[in-house]
Amino acid sequence: MTDHPRNITRHAGAITRGDRERLLGQRGAVVWFTGLSGSGKSTVAHNLEERLAAAGRLTYVLDGDNVRHGLCADLGFGAADRTENIRRVGHVAALLADAGVLVLTSFISPYRADREQVRRIVGADFVEVFVDAPLAVCEARDPKGLYKKARAGQIAEFTGISAPYEAPEKPDLHLRTGDQDLPASVAAVHDLLAARGLFTPSDPQ
């Protein structure tokens, strides 16, 4: 699709993503945590954010529960609304990455196609992290009491109980948070970002 039919043309400014990254001394990227409710997405993302902030990195956590208060307040949990939720968040994450920010997202994002769409929106600096704990472990943790409600029939379309979760087939990183403790998970993501060169700005264009 071209921009012309709707008379919308992109305006390129003189300041580039590379300029912003050099200003910040890092590279913009989207670290996309996906997994069941209670698998540990928010916990790992926020702990990683603390570690990165302590090292002087500019980060931003986009968290499912938070965006549903505003940006996605009009959306529910049916399949089409979940897809739209992830599409919007994908674009916001891409904009923040373009600003040079290390974006950490925490969304169940149960559909493989939705995550692949975000990968296309974001481009090269998209890192998919599968936060994997067995359903029984997530349910035993039940940090927000949601599984209890879902089992009692008080929440419809609850992922893992009454709605599907499509596990990543080839995630960039697979964290097994049922077996691995939190510091080890945080370190694994941190090391992957370092190996990808995300702590150094892109080369000058």
Binding site for ligand ADP (CB under 6 A): 35, 37-44, 106, 131, 141, 143, 177, 180-182, 185
Residue 180: name its binding partner from ligand ADP, Mg ion, none (Cβ under 5 to 8 Å by kind). Answer: ligand ADP
Q: 181 or 203, CB closer to ligand ADP?
A: 181
Closest CA to 189 of 74, 7, 31, 46: 31
- State both tokens at 102: 């290390």
Using alpha carbons, select from 74, 70, 66, 118 the residue that is nearest to residue 97.
Answer: 118
Q: Given the rule CB under 5 A, which of 5-13, 101-109, 138-146, 197-205 is the region that contacts Mg ion? A: 101-109
Q: How far apart are CA 178 and CA 134, in angstroms?
A: 7
Q: Which is the catalytic residue, given 37, 106, 109, 202?
A: 109
Residue nearest ligand ADP, Cβ-based = 40
39 is catalytic: no
Cβ atoms of residues 44 and 108 within 8 Å = no
At closest approach, how far in Å is the CB of 101 from ligand ADP?
20
CA distance 118 to 167: 15
Instruction: State in angstroms the smallest separation of the CB of 35 from ligand ADP.
Output: 6
Residues catalogued as catalytic: 109
